[in-house]
Amino acid sequence: MISVGMVVDLLSVAIASQALVPLRDVARLTRDPAVKRGWHALIAAVIACMLAITVGALRDADAPLDIDAAMHLFVHVVGISIVTALARLARRTAQDVIRLAAFEAQAFTDGLTGLGNRRLFTARLEEETARSRETGAPLSLIMLDIDHFKRINDTYGHANGDVVLRRIADAVMAGMRNADTVCRIGGEEMAIIMPRIDPAQAAEMADALRAAVGAMAVPMGDGRTITATVSLGFATRQPEESGDSLFRRADAALYAAKRGGRDRLSRAA
């Protein structure tokens, strides 16, 4: 004979099974290995509870339904229902976080080059300036402009000009550290925020980048290639200097490099 308690226990198991798919989805959405292991452990715990409840239900199939048994069943149903609801909520939250992260990345990314955009540059420069002020760590800023880019567009067309811009953006990213922030802040102009690095080393990296870009030959697809050079302005934050001031000095150094003949690195005074 099947008792009421057995039916309620098996109902609890059925409810608990509804938590497994959401928990699995959350584990899949999680990128941190340690957190992923935690979700897998929770899945294993839920399965273990389901097995324990099933075994108990089969063992006590003929047990009478007294007050204690009824309370026991009530705890099973409510507890399992809460776990299932939390699993679904966790999945929904994880999905929302991923969507928001994608929107945020899009809002701070330049669509053509994949670099950060002007909004990201402004935010990161403010953050790194504050960190430099608090810790005393050096902070350098490089402004980069592709020389005669209008001539490239006029000669080879804007589509090929975009290819050149993307290839130079890739070269800039390849030549920088993970700690650096590279942004396209307008047209053919880029900015590189370099925190916590010796200024002399940062300047060497900037000049190596200039040489690497100058040595590039961008294929056009018809047998021809496009070469380009870049001019760079370099500035290191002075004590008590604001981010805006650092930007203005690096930008002034960039224009000095362009006035000085282009394809060169100019340091701010």
Task: Report if residue 112 sits inside a domain.
Answer: no
Task: Report if residue 232 sits inside a domain.
Answer: yes
3-state secondary structure of 196: coil
Task: Tell me which residue range forms the domain holding 61.
Answer: 4-106
pLDDT digits (tens, 9 = 90+) for 84-105: 888 888 888 888 777 776 666 6
Task: Please indicate, yes or no, whether residues 173 and 219 belong to a single structural domain of this protein.
Answer: yes
The answer, yes or no, to whether residue 2 has pLDDT greater than 60, is no
Q: Which amino acid is at 212?
A: A
Q: Which residue has the higher pLDDT, 59 or 133?
A: 133
Cα dihedral: 201, 206, 208, 211 (round 10): -160
Task: Please state the pTM of the whole predicted model.
Answer: 0.67
The answer, yes or no, to whether residue 211 has pLDDT greater than 80, is yes
**In the chain, helix, strand, coil percent, each to 5?**
60, 15, 25
Q: Which two tokens stand for residue 190?
A: 């880029």
Task: Please indicate, yes or no, whether residues 176 and 212 belong to a single structural domain of this protein.
Answer: yes
Domain closes at, from 106, 138, 171: 106
Q: What's the average model confidence in pLDDT over 222-250?
A: 95
For the annotated catalytic residues, the residue numbers are 188
- The string of DSSP codes covering 38-107 is HHHHHHHHHHHHHHHHHHHHHHTTT----HHHHHHHHHHHHHHHHHHHHHHHHHHHHHHHHHHHHHHHHH
pLDDT digits (tens, 9 = 90+) for 43-81: 898 888 888 878 877 776 666 666 766 676 677 678 778
How many residues does the structure list for the chain?
A: 269
Helices and strands counted in the chain (H then E): 9, 7
Q: What is the pLDDT of residue 29?
A: 82
Task: Please indicate, yes or no, whether residues 247 and 127 belong to a single structural domain of this protein.
Answer: yes
Task: Please indicate, yes or no, whether residues 40 and 73 belong to a single structural domain of this protein.
Answer: yes
Task: Report if residue 111 sits inside a domain.
Answer: no
For the chain, how many structural domains are there in total? Answer: 2
Task: Please indicate, yes or no, whether residues 86 and 130 belong to a single structural domain of this protein.
Answer: no
